[in-house]
Amino acid sequence: NWQTIDNPAADGWTIEARASLAKKALDQLGAVLFNADKDGDESIDVALTNAFAPNSQISHIVLSTSPSVYTDSQFEVARLTTDPEPELARPREALRELSDLWATCTDVRFEFKVFRASDDDGTLATQQLVAVSGRRNGQPVEQHASWTIRWDESTSQRPKIQQLTVTKLEQTTLAAPSPLFVDKTDAVLGKDSAYRDQLLYGLNYWLERNQDMRYFSPLGNPGLAIGDVNGDGLDDLYLCQEANLPNRLFLQQPDGTARDAAAEWRVDWLDGSRSALLVDLDNDGDQDLVVAVLGGLVIASNVGDHFEVQDVLSTHDDTTSLTAADFDLDGDLDLYICVDYPNDFFASTREVPVQGGAANRIYHDANNAGKNALYRNDHKDGKLHFTDVTHEVGLDENNRRYSWASCWDDFDNDGDQDLYVSNDFGRNNLYVNDGGTFHDAAAEVNGEDSASGMSATWGDADGDGWMDLYISNMFSSAGGRITFQPEFKEDADEAIRQRLQRFARGNTLLLNHAGADNAIRHFDDVSVAAGVHVGRWAWSSNFVDINNDGWQDLVVANGYITTDDTGDL
């Protein structure tokens, strides 16, 4: 079982084994401190006895008098002003403040993530993220903190905290008693049989029943598109599905519900579908449909009451996502398709039943994937026609990476659309558009962000008129610990070790700035300073102004498969 396999002590990783015990001690401490059912004095006594060493010290740990750094009609944000050399005291009073604070809350949840562990002259030192959330007087409140801890391991039972220093603490309170967003899926789709008989069963159910498993990944990553397909002024939803499950087209009704009309609109295709766009391809004023299936792009024209397939463009098999932009400024939308694994990879091996390892792939700099493609829109006389111009326009440069998503915007403010491609297992691409031809300038402008790229989004984060980039990668506390330990890649070059360490850091915010001559643009990585790198196991993200204050906020979709066994992702 996994408990036997996951045994760092048996493998000689002593720091990791010690950090594992420290994490258990923190979880036990949290269960005491953030438990409203326990008496305050009892909680403090238990915490001091079980979690803190004699003569231990702790810095200020709560936001009792910290001023708000941001307030509007929806949010109040407060931050602790930290001192490089904070005053340390005995822990009882600080723990009492923390326990009393959360004792007034309901629905309290907490989590510790130990993301760094080291041996400092025989003393275990750890860095951890602390997240606590709940409802105070009916209002949602959450705190995010960073703690640095030195541990006393003199007892054989468990490590105890010798010194705890808070290096960061932020609290956000929502003014309204209701959450910002409410799940309305059942209210909108619940009366439709497509929802009840197909979608509600979930991916695991269909995994056991689908015989077409070549690219049937348990990640469950088909996409969707939103647009007004019937011209009634209401947005509709096209939902991609895995192979042998019909895609769905939900038409929005005046009462806010939606009904599936995929069959009558002739788009209930059974091909495994990964991504879709509802866009006007022929400039006739309605929304046409493009769907990336495994091995192709289905081009369907909107004829008023249904879609008619006009072409199926050939692509490499493992399509992932699809974007549209007018790259050549001829007035119509062109199509760019991203591809992950090389053709027939899953058909040629029985060793890897899911999207995981690939033969001869260099984990931190892979260049043996499928090929992305750019299709130029050459529609004429009402007929849709597309031409593969990938090689012709320069987009075949560095085009064998494991691509998950792309996004278009005018990076250099020269009037045309540039293209950023987010790649798993290594470097990303920034294809700068120069009059309809491209070159990959990512390395030149510090834009490669070599990591596990899942998506990217453009937005003017600092309001200077130049588009910045936010890239979804993966934050891993385990990776942050392990890759910095002496046993990790002992024989590897330090540059390689650093690139692998970067994979665990998380998401990236790149600000678009001018160079010394004010002409050559470059990116500055401000992810950690801006506090936006911990997007957890991130997939997709978007800049969006949530509170209508004129500044671009970030929404990050994250998570992974959840099972009853906490040792299994």
Task: Kindly give the pairing relationship between strand 334-339 and strand 139-152.
Answer: unpaired
Q: What is the pLDDT of residue 74?
A: 86
**Per-residue burial over 374-391, b = 16 or more CB atoms within 10 Å of its CB, e = otherwise:** bbbbebeeeebebeebbe
* pLDDT range class, residue 462, cuts 50, 70, 90: very high
Which tokens hold the place of 224?
């969707």
Q: What is the pLDDT of residue 66?
A: 66
Closest to 132 in 3D by CA, of 226, 200, 33, 7: 33
For 222-257, the pLDDT digits (tens) are: 899 999 999 999 999 999 998 889 999 999 999 999
> CA end-to-end span of the chain, whole Å?
14
Domain membership of residue 438 (yes or no) is: yes
8 A C-beta contact, residue 135 and residue 106:
yes
Q: Which of 149, 174, 199 is the last residue of a domain?
A: 174
Tell me which DSSP letter residue 66 carries: P
Tell me which DSSP letter residue 200 carries: G
Domain membership of residue 285 (yes or no) is: no
Instruction: Look up residue 288 and give its amino acid.
Output: D
Domain membership of residue 229 (yes or no) is: no
User: Into how many domains does the chain fold?
Assistant: 2
Residue numbers of the domain that contains 119 = 2-174
Share of the chain above pLDDT 70, in %: 91
Give the count of beta carbons closer than 10 Å to the beta carbon of residue 351: 8
Domain membership of residue 503 (yes or no) is: yes
Tell me which DSSP letter residue 345 carries: T
Q: What is the pLDDT of residue 404?
A: 95
Task: Please report the DSSP string for 90-137 in residue order.
Answer: -HHHHHHHHHHHHHTEEEEEEEEEEEEEEEETTEEEEEEEEEEEEEET
Taking residues 373-393, what's their average pLDDT? 96
Q: What is the pLDDT of residue 341?
A: 87
Domain membership of residue 344 (yes or no) is: no
Share the mean pLDDT of the chain: 90
Instruction: Look up residue 335 and give its amino acid.
Output: L
Domain membership of residue 465 (yes or no) is: yes
- Residue 86 confidence (pLDDT) above 90: no
Return phi, psi of residue 72, to 5°: -145, -165
Q: What is the pLDDT of residue 113?
A: 96
For 473-486, the pLDDT digits (tens) are: 999 999 999 999 99
For 123-163, the pLDDT digits (tens) are: 999 999 999 999 988 889 999 999 999 999 998 778 999 99
Q: What is the pLDDT of residue 219?
A: 65
* pLDDT range class, residue 531, cuts 50, 70, 90: very high
Closest to 258 in 3D by CA, of 295, 294, 228, 213: 228
Q: What is the pLDDT of residue 351?
A: 53
Gap between the Cα atoms of 339 and 390, Å rounded: 13
Give the ranges where 161-304 is alpha helix by DSSP (H): 185-189, 193-197, 202-207
User: For the CA atoms of 65, 70, 72, 76, what is the dihedral angle to 10 degrees?
Assistant: -40
The pTM of this model reads 0.92
For 330-368, the pLDDT digits (tens) are: 999 999 999 998 886 655 555 554 555 556 678 888 989
Taking residues 182-206, what's their average pLDDT? 93
* pLDDT range class, residue 95, cuts 50, 70, 90: confident
Mean pLDDT comparison of 82-96, 168-182, 380-394, highest-scoring range:
380-394
Contacts of 359 (CB under 8 A, 6+ apart): 349
3-state SS string over 130-149? EEEEEEECCEEEEEEEEEEE
CATH code for position 69: 3.10.450.50
Mean pLDDT comparison of 194-208, 314-328, 511-525, highest-scoring range:
314-328
For 27-47, the pLDDT digits (tens) are: 999 988 887 666 667 778 888
Contacts of 154 (CB under 8 A, 6+ apart): 53
More confident residue, 51 or 354: 51
Taking residues 533-540, what's their average pLDDT? 93
Domain membership of residue 164 (yes or no) is: yes
Taking residues 418-426, what's their average pLDDT? 96
Domain membership of residue 218 (yes or no) is: no
- Residue 216 confidence (pLDDT) above 90: no
Q: Which of 148, 174, 200 is the last residue of a domain?
A: 174
